[in-house]
A and B are shown apart, each in its own frame.
Chain A
Amino acid sequence: MPTYKAPLRDLQFVYKELFDATSLQALPGFEEVDTDLTDTILEEAGRFCETVLQPLNQSGDEEGCHFNNGAVTTPKGFKAAYQAFCENGWGAVTADPTYGGQGLPKTIGMMVEEMICSANMSFGMYPGLTEGAYNALAKFGTDELKTTYLPKMVTGEWSGTMCLTEPHCGTDLGLVRTKAEPQSNGAYKVTGTKIFISAGEQDLTDNIIHLVLARTPDAPAGIKGISLFIVPKYLVNADGSVGAANGVSCGSIEHKMGIKASATCVINFDAAEGYLVGTLNKGMQAMFQMMNTARLGVGIQGLGLSEVSYQNAVAYARDRLQGRALKAPFQPDKPADPLFVHPDVRRMLLTMRAYTEGNRALAIWVARKLDESNRATDPKQKQSADDFVALMTPIVKAFMTDCATDVTNLGVQIYGGHGFIREWGMEQFVRDARITQIYEGTNGIQALDLVGRKMAQNTGRLLRPFFHEVSEYLEQKSADSSDELQVMIGGLMKAFGRLQQATGFIAQQGLKDPDEAAAAATDYLRLFALVALGYLWLRMAEIALAKQGEGEAEFYQAKLDTAQFYFARLLPQTGALLSAILSGSQTLMQFNHEAF
Chain B
Amino acid sequence: MKIVVAIKRVIDYSVKVRVKSDQSNVDLANVKMALNPFCEIAVEEAVRLKEAGKATEIVVVTIGPKAAQDQIRAAMAMGADRGIWVETVDTELDALTVAKLLAKVVQNEQPQLVLLGKQAIDSDNNQTGQMLAALLDYPQATFASKVVIEGNEAVVTREIDGGLQTLGLTLPAIVTTDLRLNEPRYVKLPDIMKAKKKTLDATTPEALGVSLQKSIKLLKVEAPAERQGGIKVESVDALIDCLKNKARVI
Measured CB to CB, the residues of A under 8 A from B are: 32, 36-37, 39-41, 44-45, 47-48, 52, 84, 87-90, 92-93, 102, 551-552
Bound Cα distance A84, B196 (Å)? 23
B interface size (C-beta, 8 A): 15
Closest chain A residue to B12, Cβ basis: A43
How many Å from the CB of A357 to the closest CB on chain B?
19
For residue B74, CB closer than 8 A to chain A, the reply is yes
**29 A–B pairs (Cβ distance < 8 Å), ordered by A:** A32-B193, A36-B70, A36-B73, A37-B192, A37-B193, A39-B70, A40-B73, A40-B74, A41-B189, A41-B192, A44-B77, A44-B186, A44-B187, A44-B189, A44-B192, A47-B186, A48-B186, A88-B186, A88-B187, A88-B188, A89-B188, A89-B191, A90-B189, A92-B189, A93-B189, A102-B190, A551-B29, A551-B30, A552-B30
Bound Cα distance A91, B21 (Å)? 46
Bound Cα distance A531, B64 (Å)? 47
Q: Tell me which residues across on chain A come within 8 A of B186, comparing CB atoms.
A: 44, 47-48, 52, 84, 88
Closest chain B residue to A87, Cβ basis: B188
How many Å from the CB of B143 to the closest CB on chain A?
26
Bound Cα distance A210, B139 (Å)? 61
Q: Which of B73, B74, B191, B196 contacts A32 (CB 8 A)?
A: B196
How many Å from the CB of A333 to the closest CB on chain B?
9
Q: Which of A84, A90, A102, A552 contacts B193 (CB 8 A)?
A: A102
Q: Tell me which residues across on chain B come within 8 A of A84, comparing CB atoms.
A: 186
Q: Tell me which residues across on chain A come within 8 A of B193, comparing CB atoms.
A: 32, 37, 102
Bound Cα distance A167, B63 (Å)? 65
Measured CB to CB, the residues of B under 8 A from A are: 29-30, 70, 73-74, 77, 186-193, 196
Q: Majority SS of interface residues in chain A?
A: helix
Bound Cα distance A88, B187 (Å)? 7
Q: Tell me which residues across on chain B come within 8 A of A102, comparing CB atoms.
A: 189-190, 193
How many Å from the CB of B198 to the closest CB on chain A?
13
Bound Cα distance A47, B37 (Å)? 14
Bound Cα distance A48, B190 (Å)? 15
How many Å from the CB of B169 to the closest CB on chain A?
34
Q: Which of A32, A36, A89 contacts B190 (CB 8 A)?
A: A89
Closest chain B residue to A552, Cβ basis: B30
Closest chain B residue to A88, Cβ basis: B188
6 closest cross-chain pairs (CB), A and B: A89-B189, A551-B30, A552-B30, A44-B187, A88-B188, A551-B29
How many Å from the CB of A64 to the closest CB on chain B?
27
Bound Cα distance A90, B73 (Å)? 19
Bound Cα distance A41, B186 (Å)? 12
Bound Cα distance A55, B125 (Å)? 35
Choose among A41, A47, A93 the residue with the greatest number of B CB atoms under 10 Å from its CB: A41
Bound Cα distance A442, B189 (Å)? 34
Q: Tell me which residues across on chain A come within 8 A of B74, comparing CB atoms.
A: 40
Q: Tell me which residues across on chain B come within 8 A of A87, comparing CB atoms.
A: 188
Knowing that A37-B196, A40-B73, A551-B30 touch, tell me 16 more A-B residue pairs with CB under 8 angstroms: A32-B193, A40-B70, A41-B189, A44-B77, A44-B186, A44-B187, A44-B189, A48-B186, A52-B186, A84-B186, A87-B188, A88-B186, A89-B191, A90-B189, A102-B190, A551-B29
Q: Tell me which residues across on chain A come within 8 A of B73, comparing CB atoms.
A: 36, 40
Q: Which of A40, A52, A552 contacts B77 (CB 8 A)?
A: A40
B192 near A40: Cβ-Cβ < 8 Å: yes
Bound Cα distance A90, B189 (Å)? 7
